[in-house]
């Protein structure tokens, strides 16, 4: 019985050593995929920041347009009121 256990253990040890190269290749493949995904996340963060900046600039421009429109309407109302007098 002890000889069988020793033989099985030896066979598993040799098999484990034989698969080390395949395991290293798999680890390298997964590492490169993680690196690629990290780069994509970094790019997406940069794009999101750019979009947020553009949205803020558009909001400021829209608020300025509303202010300018109100001012123009007040001037027009004053011109119309002066003709009625």
pLDDT digits (tens, 9 = 90+) for 44-78: 999 999 999 999 999 999 999 999 999 999 888 88
Q: What whole-number distance in Å separates Cα of residue 61 and Cα of residue 65?
A: 6
Task: For 4-36, write each residue's pLDDT tens digit.
Answer: 888 777 777 666 655 677 778 888 999 999 999
DSSP letters of 52-74? HHHHHHHHHHHHHHHHHHHHHHH
Computed over its alpha carbons, how large is the radius of gyration of the chain? 36
Angle at CA of residue 22, ends 13 and 14, nearest 5°: 15
The region, left, alpha or beta by phi > 0 then psi within -120 to 50, assigned to residue 21 is alpha
């Amino acid at each position: 019985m002890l000889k069988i256990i020793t033989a099985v253990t030896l066979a598993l040890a040799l098999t484990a050593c034989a698969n080390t190269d395949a395991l290293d290749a798999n680890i390298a493949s997964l590492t490169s995929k993680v690196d690629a995904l990290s780069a994509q996340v970094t790019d997406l963060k940069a794009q999101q920041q750019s979009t947020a900046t553009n949205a803020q600039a558009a909001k400021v421009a829209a608020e300025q347009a509303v202010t300018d429109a109100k001012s123009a309407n007040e001037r027009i109302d004053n011109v119309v009121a002066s003709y009625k007098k």
